[in-house]
Amino acid sequence: MDRRSRTAPVRELPSRSALITTLTPNPSIDRTLAIARLERGEVLRATTANVEFAGKGINLARVLTTNGHRAQAVIPGNPDSLADLIAALDRAGTETHVVTIEGTVRTNLTILEDDGTTTKINESGPHLSAAAVDALLDTATEQAADSQWLVASGSLPPGAPADFYVQLAQRLPDPSQKLVIDTSGGALARMAHTPCAVAKPNLEELASLTQKPLWTLGDVVDAATELQSHGWGTVLVSLGGSGAVLVDDEVSYGNSPAGDIRNTVGAGDALLAGFLAGGAKGPAALHNALAWARAAVRSTDTVGPPCTDEDRSAVTMTTDVPLDMSVGHG
């Protein structure tokens, strides 16, 4: 039987949450401004402003704790300058482990327009010394020892080697059982032949890795299957407004349309958080992932409110995957 069209019943979600550790080598202070319309060269007034401690792993940990799951975040930074932001994470239930470095955490700017358009401007981040890189990898490995998952995500700051995540995998007893990867560019390319339990590329990242145009869901499934043959256990591909496709022992596809999108920043982090919290396997986990992502995009914050029954009921799922469905130009 063609593995891409295999079907299976939706499984129940786990009743207890296991600890999930995240590693964010390049965290940020995210400032989000809402405006009516972005006009270059003009003086504009924001209707709302919000400041959050962010970065992909931090976002993911926050989404988990917001939805009642256990999470802890490993980050580099200056504990004194980040004290208030770290305290806010602690109050929300996300424990942090800070590796002290020189320099300051970067500040990123997100501009939200009334029509849902999101513009993001990111700084590069502070320079990490070789000693800081080692300390960050050691701390993440140690903290993940009692965790179900170690999620390594986001861009690499200046000073971090391109094989940073590969080095992390090499420090784990069995990365194929614990390591979850969500990154891009050269850092993702270096991981293409390194075993991991879960990888979450988006459509553009998957196309770049395989050097193939991805026009249909069938193309996406074939590309994900190719990466599985190189050591990736499960591949969760986010397709933006077209939903997501999951390739593990079977293939499933789903979407969670929302007519009131406010902020797409953090949607991929919510998708991955929901997938892990939902058991990280099969249609039930993908359904949970899409519901959490929908909750995130409907909020102006990077991390939205808890997932609701409305979000869950909006998800459409199938294991009879429409392989000829167009998903973009890769």
CA–CA distance from 287 to each of 11, 68, 306 (Å)? 10, 17, 15
User: What's the rounded Cα separation, in Å, for the pair 288 and 273?
Assistant: 9
Cα–Cα separations (whole angstroms), residue 79 to 30, 59, 87: 17, 19, 10
Out of 30, 182, 269, 311, pick the active-site residue: 269
CA–CA distances in Å: residue 153 to residues 3, 63, 91, 118, 215: 29, 14, 23, 21, 26
Known catalytic membership, residue 30 = no
The enclosing H or E element of 84 equals helix 83-91
- Helices 217-228, 203-210: inter-axial angle, 10-degree rounding: 60
Contact (Cβ atoms closer than 8 angstroms) between residue 214 and residue 203: yes
Residues 2/178/317/329 CA torsion (nearest 10 deg)? -70
Q: What is the CA radius of gyration of the chain?
A: 19
Q: Which residue numbers are catalytic?
A: 269
